C-alpha cells in the first residue's frame, strides 16, 4: 500500500505577498488542485508550483472541475479577475467539457474562441499577461497501438485563439498525444492516467478506471513540458517566468529483469520537493518487485513507492524475485469497513467465522472481498493461519 505524500499547496498562496509575480490558473478538472481524498489524482496545476522559485513566482490555481469557458465565466470569473494585478500571468486551459455536446454550458469552437477572448482582454486590462494552453488528451485508443483523437476541434480552437489574441501558447494536447503513443497504451493507462488496480492506493481500495483525468505522474509530465517550453521560448513576455524556474534533478530507473524493462517508471527530471513515484508492473503481473537505491539498500517491498524529491540525482532499481528478501504476501492487506483488500497481487483463501466457531462464509480472492455480513463481531482467517477480529457495524 502506498503511503502517499500529499503536499499542502496553501503555503505557496500564503506567501503571495512577498512574491514578485503570481501565475493564476483557470480551467477544468485536468488543471485543478483536487484534494487529498482523491490522491494520486490531480490536475497538472497541482504540481506546477514546484518548478518555480516560490520567492519569485507563486502559482494560484483557480481551476474548477466540470467547467467550460462559458460556465467558468458565468459562475467563477468574477472571483478571479479582481485578484489579478499588473505583472501577473493568467494561464487559461479549457476544452475537455466545452466539447461535450451533452453539457449544459458546452460551446462551439467559435463560441469557445470568443470566451477565451473575454479572459484575455480582461487580463490585459489589469496589466497581466494571458497564456493559452490546449486541454490534455484522453487515454482513448482505437487499437493497442493507435490513439484516438479526443475533444473534437477544441484543442485546435485554442491554438486559433492564441493566434487571434496574440498570446503565448502551449500545446498540451499534442504533447500529451505524442507522449501517450510513445510510452504505449498500458503505460499511459496505469502510470499517467487515473487508473489503478485494487489496493494500490488507499483512496481507491477497489481500484479505479478513469481515462480522462491524470494521476500525479501524468500531471508532472505536463507541468515539466510547460516549464521546458517557457525556458526555450524567445517570447519576451515569458522571460520573467523563464528566469524564475528552479533546477531539476535526474531520477533514473533500472530493472534486473530485461522482460520488465518497459514496465517501470520512466526516467525524468524533477524539481526539489515534488513527489516522485516508483512503480513497476505490467508485463508479468505475477512477478513480485522490490525497490533498491543505488547503494543496494532496499527502500520498498511494494511495486509502488512515493517519495519527496531531494536536491540531487537519484537512481533506483526494481528487483524481481530476489531470494534474499522474504515478502510475506498474506500480511499485505488492509481491512476496510466491510471489505478486505490485498496489495500483493496474490490469490488468498479467506474464511469468516463467528466467535463461537460457527462457519459463515469463505472465498478465494486476488484483490478484494466484500463481507456483506450482518452487524456483529467475526473472526477472519487468511490462508487458514491468520486470525483477525473484524467488526461489522
* Residue 75 phi, psi dihedral angles, 5° rounding: -115, -20
Instruction: Name the more confident of 333 and 27.
Output: 27
Instruction: Name the more confident of 240 and 361.
Output: 240
**pTM (2 decimals)?**
0.80
Instruction: Name the more confident of 157 and 8.
Output: 157
pLDDT band at 104 (very low <50, low <70, confident <90, very high): confident
CB-based contacts of 244, cutoff 8 Å, min separation 6:
20, 21, 52, 53, 56, 57
Residue 165: pLDDT over 60: yes
- Facing residues of 61 across strands? 25
Mean pLDDT of 59-79: 97
Mean pLDDT of 222-245: 98
- Nearest-angstrom CA–CA distance, 204 and 182: 28
**Greatest Cα-to-Cα distance within the chain, rounded to the nearest angstrom:** 77
Instruction: Give the rounded percent of residues in the chain with a pLDDT score beyond 90.
Output: 61
Whole-number mean pLDDT of the chain?
Answer: 88
- Nearest-angstrom CA–CA distance, 64 and 242: 27
pLDDT digits (tens, 9 = 90+) for 255-303: 888 877 778 899 999 999 999 999 987 545 556 688 899 988 888 877 8
Mapped onto helix, strand or coil, the DSSP state of residue 139 is coil
- Nearest-angstrom CA–CA distance, 116 and 113: 5
- For 349, how many CA atoms within 13 A lie in the half-sphere containing its CB? 3
Residue 6: pLDDT over 60: no
Least confident of 130-144, 164-178, 364-378: 364-378
Amino acid at each position: 500500500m502506498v503511503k502517499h505524500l500529499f503536499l499542502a499547496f496553501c503555503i505557496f498562496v500564503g506567501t503571495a505577498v512577498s512574491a514578485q509575480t503570481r501565475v493564476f490558473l483557470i480551467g477544468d478538472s485536468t488543471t485543478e488542485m483536487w484534494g487529498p481524498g482523491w490522491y494520486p489524482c490531480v490536475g497538472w496545476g497541482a504540481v506546477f508550483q514546484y518548478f518555480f522559485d516560490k520567492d519569485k513566482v507563486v502559482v494560484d490555481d483557480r481551476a474548477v472541475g466540470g467547467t467550460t469557458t462559458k460556465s467558468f465565466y458565468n459562475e467563477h470569473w468574477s472571483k478571479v479577475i479582481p485578484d489579478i494585478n499588473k505583472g501577473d500571468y493568467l494561464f487559461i486551459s479549457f476544452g475537455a467539457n466545452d466539447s461535450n455536446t451533452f453539457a449544459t454550458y458546452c460551446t462551439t469552437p467559435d463560441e469557445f474562441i470568443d470566451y477565451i477572448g473575454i479572459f484575455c482582454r480582461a487580463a490585459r486590462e489589469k496589466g497581466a499577461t494571458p497564456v493559452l494552453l490546449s486541454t490534455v488528451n484522453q487515454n482513448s485508443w482505437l487499437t493497442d497501438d493507435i490513439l484516438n483523437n479526443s475533444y473534437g476541434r477544441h484543442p485546435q480552437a485554442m491554438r486559433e485563439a492564441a493566434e487571434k489574441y496574440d498570446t503565448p501558447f502551449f500545446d498540451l494536447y499534442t504533447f500529451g498525444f505524442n507522449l501517450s503513443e510513445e510510452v504505449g497504451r498500458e503505460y499511459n493507462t496505469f502510470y499517467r492516467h487515473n487508473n489503478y488496480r485494487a489496493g494500490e492506493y488507499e483512496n481507491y481500495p477497489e481500484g479505479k478506471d478513469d481515462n480522462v483525468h491524470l494521476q500525479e505522474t501524468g500531471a508532472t509530465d505536463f507541468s515539466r513540458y510547460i516549464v521546458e517550453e517557457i525556458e526555450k521560448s524567445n517570447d519576451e513576455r515569458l522571460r520573467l517566468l523563464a528566469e524564475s524556474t528552479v533546477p531539476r534533478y535526474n531520477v533514473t530507473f533500472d530493472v534486473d529483469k530485461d522482460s520488465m524493462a518497459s514496465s517501470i517508471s520512466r526516467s525524468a527530471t524533477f524539481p526539489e520537493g515534488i513527489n516522485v513515484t516508483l512503480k513497476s508492473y505490467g508485463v508479468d503481473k505475477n512477478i513480485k518487485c522490490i525497490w533498491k537505491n543505488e547503494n543496494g539498500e532496499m527502500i520498498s517491498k511494494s511495486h509502488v513507492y512515493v517519495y519527496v524529491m531531494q536536491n540531487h540525482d537519484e537512481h533506483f532499481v526494481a528487483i524481481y524475485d530476489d531470494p534474499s528478501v522474504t515478502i510475506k504476501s498474506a500480511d499485505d492487506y488492509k481491512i476496510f469497513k466491510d471489505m478486505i483488500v490485498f496489495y500483493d497481487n496474490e490469490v488468498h483463501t479467506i474464511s469468516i467465522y463467528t466467535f463461537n466457531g460457527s462457519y459463515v462464509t469463505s472465498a478465494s480472492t486476488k484483490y478484494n472481498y466484500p463481507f456483506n455480513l450482518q452487524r456483529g463481531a467475526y473472526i477472519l482467517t487468511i490462508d487458514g493461519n491468520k486470525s483477525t477480529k473484524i467488526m461489522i457495524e
